[in-house]
Structure 1
Amino acid sequence: MIDWKQPAFFLELLVILTSSLVSVVIFRRLRIPDILAYLFAGAVIGPYALGLVKDDANIRLFSDLGVTFLLFDLGLEFSLPRLLAMRRSVLGLGILQLTFTIAVLSGALIGFGGYSSIASLVIAGALTVSSTAIIARELHELKLINRHYARLSLSVSILQDLAAVVLLILIPTLGAASDQAVYRQIAWTIGSTLFLGGLLLGVARWVLPRVFYEITKMQSEEIFVLTTLVIVLLSGWLMSAFGLSMALGAFIIGVMLGESEFRHQVEVSIRPFRDILMGLFFASLGMKLDVGLLSGEWSLLLIGTALVVLGKWAMTVVSALIIGESFRTACKSGLLLAQVSEFGFALIALATQVGILAADTSSRVLLIAWATMVASPLLIRYNFEISEALAGVAGRRVSARDNERDQIPVDLSDHVILAGYGRVGQMIGKFLRTNGVPFIAMDIDSEQVKKGRKEGELVIYGSCDRIELLERCHIAQARLAILTFKSLKEAQRVVSKIRSSGYVLPIIVRTQHHTDYTGLIMAGANHVVPEMFEASLLIAAEVLTMLGFSKAEVEDQIDTERKRHRHLRWTSARNREAL
């Protein structure tokens, strides 16, 4: 006999995973971000649409774990020295942005919406906090996590998360008769955060490296993964036991482990768990969408969403300009912080439970918050184009402050553009400098940029996947461009765009692999250097030499293999072009 009476939670989890899978496959074919696929799947199967899934405590637990793992992974990307170096900008921008946005939104709600001061403060606070999960997810996918404006925005969003935790504790006590309850809650939150944060920092700094060192001696990947999971969950549990955010504890541990030699293996170990749990998290957010309101109030909700996005963007831009950031950095940071956080949902839900907000009011606010999340991936993906357009409308050309770190000479010409300034790039730069050939290098690793500048080289921060940045490097006057890509598709797209823009300079493309890159030749690359292929030839030459073969014989075989490989590559390219 088949038992069709499965536990409700199992069936709901199966429905969520299946609907998410179908949505992601369809949305990827349409080149729409995965986050929107998960939000759409949750909205369709949620209690306000088909009603296949109830947003119960079990699903919320999985979604909370997803945010916890995401913040841990985010912490691995940040180094403590970088965070300390940015503390002035982060605290200045974060405090100004929070203060300005809450003041403006609450004032508008009181003056135009007729809400009470407490209700206005709660709604404004919920709408002000931005989603670290969405920002981090998109920046990871776009490989923009190390950009200055990205680190600045993520740090501000984490600061906002801390403010949201304080609000979550304050909301139940806002209606208390005695102010002492509020003061006690604030003191407890601040004290426990400082104490537990310091404790986790100490453990992560001096204990965890020794733990991982002992684990690696066993040479067991399963034990390593299990150890990582236990550490993440234990840090989150410790924070939650004191009424704080689970994600905060995981982030602190991640920051400290990011400085250790185990960082990359830890990151690889948790990635599958993080991705699946994050999908459940965004699907659970989609379940909160009350689609019934769309039929009667869609125009007002659309206006409200636009006002929230524009208001948060404007307040972030003003705050960033006050602390001395460039206009373009301010615009990009504003676009990244324009959405509402998952903490906003929790704040509104809690305020409704304690009677501060009416049910219909909370539904409208949640729908606006959900709409900002839907718009956010697109704003983040096109933040560069939008910022450049806004800078043009504002009449902002590249000023000294916008480009103070670049210092690109306006008369730079007859030079080489070198994208990627790691070990290979530095060696190429050394030969160019020895032979008197001017060059400008770029890299997305700020440490490499700083190192190059200390040595007196012309090195800027940036990626060659932006044609606009190549144009700032005077690609029209350059003799040669050496571009480095990890993705063959991205390399083909950029090379094609360079050629379609009319630039005819020779282009050398460095790739990690040597398979299936004939499309780069067809796109306009003059030469492709497969690093793994060349490395394998060098190893083979060394092996034959050590086995006693003559140097001339080895060189002949290596040259023959290079010619054969080059012939196959060009033949394949011509065949594709003929087809």
Structure 2
Amino acid sequence: MEQNVVNILLLMTVAVLAVWSFRRVQLPPILAYLVTGIIAGPEVLSLFEDVERIHLIAELGIVFLLFTLGLEFSLPKMLAMRNLVFGVGAGQMLLTTAFFTGIALLFGLPLTQSILVGSVVALSSTAIVIKQLSEGGDLNTHRAQMSVSVLLFQDLAVVPLLIVIPLLAGSGGDSLTIAISMAVVKGILVIAILFAVGKWLLPRVFSEVARTRTDELFVLTAILVTLLAAGMTYSFGLSMALGAFLAGMMLSESQYRYQLEADIRPFRDILMGLFFITIGMALPLAPLADNGHWVLLTVAGVMVAKVVLIRIAAWIFKAPKADAWAAGIKLCQLGEFSFVLSSLATTQGLFSQELNAFIVSVGVISMLMTPYLIKNSRRFALNLTQSGPVDDDLLPDAEGKYQDHVLILGFGRVGQSVSRMLSVEEVPYVVIDVDPMRVQESRNAGEPVYYGDCCSKDVLAAVGFDKAKMAIVTFDEHARALRVLNTFQQLNPQLPVVVRTRKDYRMEELYQAGASQVVPEILEGSLMLVSQVLHLSGIPMRRILKRVREERKGRYNHLHGFYPGETTEVNYESQSKLEFLHAVILSADAWAVGKTLGEVNLPGLRVKLKGLRRDNQTLPEPGPDTRLLANDVLVISGKPRRVERAERHMLEGH
């Protein structure tokens, strides 16, 4: 027992250090979990003897993941995607299975084993792909629908495969037909039950739970519903993940959707991390060392072949080329169910231990490469769908055409809104964008939009960069905006550049990079809201406009800082840039009592004094000579760690 506790603590330590290290170099946590599993696995530290038991618990991560995925897809949306699910999804499964069955036959495997190998290789990783799409904010985009549709069909296809493998190891024949028929009947029955319960019972249950206003009860009910749905499909011989997905889909149109997703997320993320650790534990290092070149060659062959086969399936069903290539790049790895099927086939005597180890090695290595491929899938897809960078008529040909114009970088909703206002005022402008479809649509409508990288000096020269009167960065990509500003500083540091950003804590970095004006959406939205409130409160418009101008000129000084709460998200990237407000109450024994503000030296602690309250009254303009008394409340603002240090200094003197 004590050894198990030590092993668990050691596993958590390795996981924490791995995730921290990987995030420091901008790599996704999934890779850290896989590496943690390899380190903790039987061939390195060997922390756990019964990996299968841990894997069973970790599979609940997939259950919760599919539940949250179901919350994103309502029944009407699923019906609208049926052509993708049962068209491209079925086509991909059949083509990939047939192709790799043929390859296995060429290597001398029997027909039964070859079909199983083809089926195992045809599957992709629902867990990795959905998690990466969700973290990247692409899950609800049109280009991600094809990937999700193919994954959904693959999850459906796992069910008959799990039934068929034990039967293939036995007699087969009539029993195989009967078993598949029974599986279909069970599937229809359980889906009908879940649909009925989800539509009529679950909304009433959550309505009653919500009335209790008990957060713990709501969380427990959400977990219970997810596990009951998964357990029901499992008891019918179907996938647990399928039941969780259907339950989520039934609740997707309820008013509790977002609260359910928020409650499930912590459990999902922890268990998903454990799941990927168990996948890493499954990697056999000995076969990899002995046949490493064959494993790597197989990984490359499998991934390239799956990309091409998904593209062919999409072509058969007339799906968009760019989406098809992107889906193929996202789904070219093996999936978690590949390991399940391969392990089952090995247990039933259909696969040898060596073949199973080889498949697991190929699968884990392909998974290690997946986050990078998903992140860059759109760029790779655009390169594959175009003979050159883009069509010649989309490239900048505006040299000498524009003068004293506004250069708009990015033509999303913000860029288009800016262009419309400039058109109303008859201000000339020219746009650079990297989305070829958007560029083509805009040019067909007569907009001066050109395809190109806004960091390219040649592209900037072609659109009259040296003759522009100002530039506007409208896309919300911080790293790319910094590259643009760096390019502008090299070419023309005098050009005024306005930059849009969502995060106010990134303002200073953008100003230091050369931005003339940074417009933070959250603060600017707050400023507009305050303007409306002041106007409706009877404040003269002249005074409101003056106040707005002063705030913008002072870089929104009065709007910086906020009081954090339980829901405030502070991550590694933002913790050193956010500005918190904090009220420090000086007890009678506090070090600062009896000292002046000048002696406390808040500016030296790199925090600002926002206010001083005494006897429930705010003191007007406290100065350096203001002496602090017991029970005074100082409202300070600054970065989180500086606020903590300042409070400790005022209370303890160090």
Displacement of 1:482: 5.5
Matched residue, 2:13: 18
Matched residue, 1:93: 88
Matched residue, 1:378: 372
1:387 matches 2:381: yes
1:253 matches 2:247: yes
- Do the aligned partners of 2:88 and 2:317 also contact (CA within 8 Å) in 1? yes
Displacement of 1:416: 5.3
Displacement of 1:130: 0.5
Q: Which runs of 5+ in 2 are unaligned?
A: 560-576, 578-654
- Do the aligned partners of 2:314 and 2:324 also contact (CA within 8 Å) in 1? yes
Number of residue equivalences: 541
1:310 matches 2:301: no
Matched residue, 1:515: 505
1:110-159: CA deviation from partner (whole Å, max 9, x where unpaired): 11x21111111111111110011111111122222233332211210121
Opposite residue 219 of structure 1, the aligned amino acid is: R
Matches of 2:230 and 2:26 in 1, distance apart? Answer: 34
- Do the aligned partners of 1:475 and 1:503 also contact (CA within 8 Å) in 2? no
1:349 matches 2:343: yes
1:104 matches 2:99: yes
2:70 to 46, 71, 75: 75
Matches of 2:12 and 2:147 in 1, distance apart? Answer: 31
Matched residue, 1:32: 27
SS of corresponding position for 1:510: strand
Opposite residue 171 of structure 1, the aligned amino acid is: I
Structure 1 residues 178 and 365 mapped into 2: Cα distance closer, same or farther (>3 Å)?
A: closer
TM-score, with structure 2 as normaliser: 0.73
Matched residue, 1:62: 57
Structure 1 residues 374 and 221 mapped into 2: Cα distance closer, same or farther (>3 Å)?
A: same
1:272 to 255, 266, 273: 266
1:115 to 96, 109, 113: 109
Displacement of 1:388: 3.8
Matches within 5 A, 1:178-327: 178-327=172-321
Greater displacement, 261-270 / 427-436:
427-436
1:148 to 137, 142, 152: 142
Opposite residue 280 of structure 1, the aligned amino acid is: L
Opposite residue 81 of structure 1, the aligned amino acid is: P
Displacement of 1:389: 4.0
Opposite residue 180 of structure 1, the aligned amino acid is: D
Displacement of 1:475: 7.5
SS of corresponding position for 2:119: helix
Displacement of 1:386: 2.8
Matches within 5 A, 1:489-504: 489-490=478-479, 492-493=481-482, 495-496=484-485, 499=488
Displacement of 1:223: 2.5
- Do the aligned partners of 1:332 and 1:387 also contact (CA within 8 Å) in 2? yes
Q: Which runs of 5+ in 1 are unaligned?
A: 573-579
Displacement of 1:330: 2.3
Opposite residue 101 of structure 1, the aligned amino acid is: T
Matches within 5 A, 1:135-174: 135-174=129-168
Opposite residue 185 of structure 1, the aligned amino acid is: A
Structure 1 residues 238 and 492 mapped into 2: Cα distance closer, same or farther (>3 Å)?
A: same
Displacement of 1:301: 1.2
Matches of 1:532 and 1:247 in 2, distance apart? Answer: 38
Displacement of 1:45: 1.0
Identity percentage of aligned residues: 33
More helix by share: 1
- Do the aligned partners of 2:58 and 2:278 also contact (CA within 8 Å) in 1? yes
Matches of 2:474 and 2:27 in 1, distance apart? Answer: 27
1:354-377: CA deviation from partner (whole Å, max 9, x where unpaired): 111111121111111111111211
Matched residue, 2:361: 367
- Do the aligned partners of 2:84 and 2:149 also contact (CA within 8 Å) in 1? no
Opposite residue 25 of structure 1, the aligned amino acid is: W
1:232-272: CA deviation from partner (whole Å, max 9, x where unpaired): 11111111111111111111222233333332222222111
Displacement of 1:520: 1.8
1:176 matches 2:170: yes
Matches of 1:443 and 1:203 in 2, distance apart? Answer: 46
Matched residue, 2:474: 483
- Do the aligned partners of 1:15 and 1:53 also contact (CA within 8 Å) in 2? no
SS of corresponding position for 1:120: helix
SS of corresponding position for 2:332: coil
Displacement of 1:160: 0.7
Structure 1 residues 31 and 550 mapped into 2: Cα distance closer, same or farther (>3 Å)?
A: closer
- Do the aligned partners of 1:200 and 1:235 also contact (CA within 8 Å) in 2? yes
TM-score, with structure 1 as normaliser: 0.81
Structure with bigger gyration radius: 2
1:371-409: CA deviation from partner (whole Å, max 9, x where unpaired): 1111211221222333344445xx367579xx9xxx999
Displacement of 1:109: 1.0
Matches of 2:341 and 2:218 in 1, distance apart? Answer: 37
Displacement of 1:37: 0.9
Matches of 2:410 and 2:255 in 1, distance apart? Answer: 29
Greater displacement, 187-196 / 432-441:
432-441
1:303-323: CA deviation from partner (whole Å, max 9, x where unpaired): 111111112112112222222
Displacement of 1:17: 2.4
Structure 1 residues 493 and 116 mapped into 2: Cα distance closer, same or farther (>3 Å)?
A: farther
Matched residue, 2:527: 537
1:6 to 2, 5, 8: 2
Structure 1 residues 439 and 70 mapped into 2: Cα distance closer, same or farther (>3 Å)?
A: farther
SS of corresponding position for 1:565: coil
Matched residue, 2:610: none
SS of corresponding position for 2:169: coil
- Do the aligned partners of 1:46 and 1:54 also contact (CA within 8 Å) in 2? no
Displacement of 1:342: 0.6
Structure 1 residues 61 and 467 mapped into 2: Cα distance closer, same or farther (>3 Å)?
A: farther
Structure 1 residues 508 and 114 mapped into 2: Cα distance closer, same or farther (>3 Å)?
A: same
Opposite residue 77 of structure 2, the aligned amino acid is: R
**Greater relative contact order, per chain length (Cα 8 Å cut-off, separation 6+):** 1
Structure 1 residues 408 and 457 mapped into 2: Cα distance closer, same or farther (>3 Å)?
A: farther
